[in-house]
Amino acid sequence: MRQFYKKISSVCMALLCVAALLIGCTATAWAADEVDDSVKSQLVTTTKGLTEAIIAMSEDDIQGYMESEDAFTQSAASAWDGSREELGEKKGDINEKDITVEYSDDQYTVVVPVSFEKNKANFTYVFDKSGTPTSVSVDVNYTLAQNMEKAAMNTVMGLGTVFVILIFLIFVISLFKYIPGLVEGKKKESAPAPVAAAPAPVAEPVVEDVTDDGELVAVIAAAIAASEGKTSTDGFVVRSIRKINRRKR
């Protein structure tokens, strides 16, 4: 079985090499702005053979080609490996009349439609102006029911993700009511013990010191006694003397 896979791998590689040689021989004709019939026929034949060789790849062939140093071989193996499970076995032969060839931006684009058991697919090849194949892709043509199913699955996953995020946000917001209590508790733990206020000082009564004003007291007492018609100051005592501020007119 191992030798059988090696033989198939050798055949596929030989087809790819032959295709590259054939394309290189017609490089001068491909430089035209429009695709003439001879160039189109050559492209159709080449891409048809490449498509059949790609479809015939086994699991071992795909793994081996994906490790190849050639970029086109890698892209062909990778494109077919990612699509073959969704397509199944090939149905019928490839109709060359359905193959389309276009030329724009100095490159050729060839689309090869193929029918499979599960779906149809388009093998799209790109060649540069010199006739070298640069890339190949396999585009699966899904039916309307399949597209609707995928759209429904994407919608359900999107809505599910939104609801999960909303529930998480509601849970987080519900925890906000506990934050003030935690903050107050932290403040109470870190606050220092209150210090008793010192008693306010009591103001002492102001006592007029008249010990140094003896002469002034005697003069004022004599003046008061004279104004009352007395000759002695024994009937009254001067206890304090206050200055009266009079406004100047």
Sign of torsion, CA 181 187 190 194? negative
Using DSSP's 3-state secondary structure scheme, residue 100 falls into strand
- Three-state SS string across 185-243, please? HHHHHHCCCCCCCCCCCCCCCCCCCCHHHHHHHHHHHHHHHHHCCCCCCCCCCCCCCCC
pLDDT tens for the chain, 249 residues long, are: 444 444 445 545 555 554 554 555 444 444 445 677 788 889 899 999 999 999 998 888 888 888 888 888 888 899 899 888 889 899 888 998 999 999 888 889 999 999 998 889 999 999 987 778 888 999 988 777 767 877 888 888 898 999 899 999 998 888 888 877 777 777 677 766 566 555 666 555 554 554 556 677 777 777 777 777 666 666 666 666 676 666 655
